[in-house]
Amino acid sequence: MDEGVPIYYKGYKEYLNGNQNFEQTMPDSNLQAWLKGRLYLFISLLFQKNKNIVVTVGEQGLSLKKRSWRGADIAIFKKSNFDLVPEYSKKPPEVVIEINIKGDYDSDEKMLRDYERKNAQLLEFGVKKIIWIFTETQFIVSVTNEGKKNYEWNDDVPVFKDISFNVQKVVDSFYE
């Protein structure tokens, strides 16, 4: 939801027209779901002994302001910024990791505009870094207030100063 305007999942029109069931509208692809889970597990294990970090996975709801919220595939919070309550977080995570853009857009320009707007909103909310992983193009973008940095699929992508991940190595681990 952006300023009271809903951002629909890709496939919602087909669902409303009866050509697709609800479960087909929201789910992740095999690669996206598996990668989300593996990155969550990897990052969680790195922070296992650090009781001041909370890592969430799924569609972590972030309540940016009244009538505006966004979801995050993986969110890394300072524990002091995370409340264990049954509602969206009103406090920002340090890092958000997004895998693909799943909104329903009728043009690439609208998709790009929403991508840029989501980045701006998350940074304004207090998120320090947004990492976008695009599975179809095997491309990664890291966004901070200082700018954007592009990565290839086989690059080490920094999450924090001393913590990074490499998507190609994560994918390769499936085949070992």
Domain ranges of the chain: 29-174
Q: What is the CATH number of domain 29-174?
A: 3.90.1570.10
Any residues with CB less than 8 A from the CB of 129 and at least 6 apart, and which?
94, 95, 96, 142, 143, 144, 159
Query: How far, in Å, CA of 93 to CA of 138, rounded?
Result: 25
Where does residue 43 rank: exposed (0-12), middle (13-18), buried (19+ CB within 10 A)?
buried
pLDDT digits (tens, 9 = 90+) for 126-148: 999 999 999 989 999 999 999 99
Residue at token pair 């300023």: 3
CB 64 within 8 A of CB 52: no
Mean pLDDT of the chain: 86
CB 74 within 8 A of CB 40: yes
Read out DSSP for 80-130? GG---SSS-BSS--SEEEEES--B--SSHHHHHHHHHHHHHHHHHHT-SEE
List the single range of 16-20, 82-86, 107-111 with lowest mean pLDDT: 16-20
pLDDT digits (tens, 9 = 90+) for 62-88: 999 887 888 999 999 999 999 999 999
Query: How far, in Å, CA of 8 to CA of 51, rounded?
Result: 36
In this prediction the pTM is 0.84
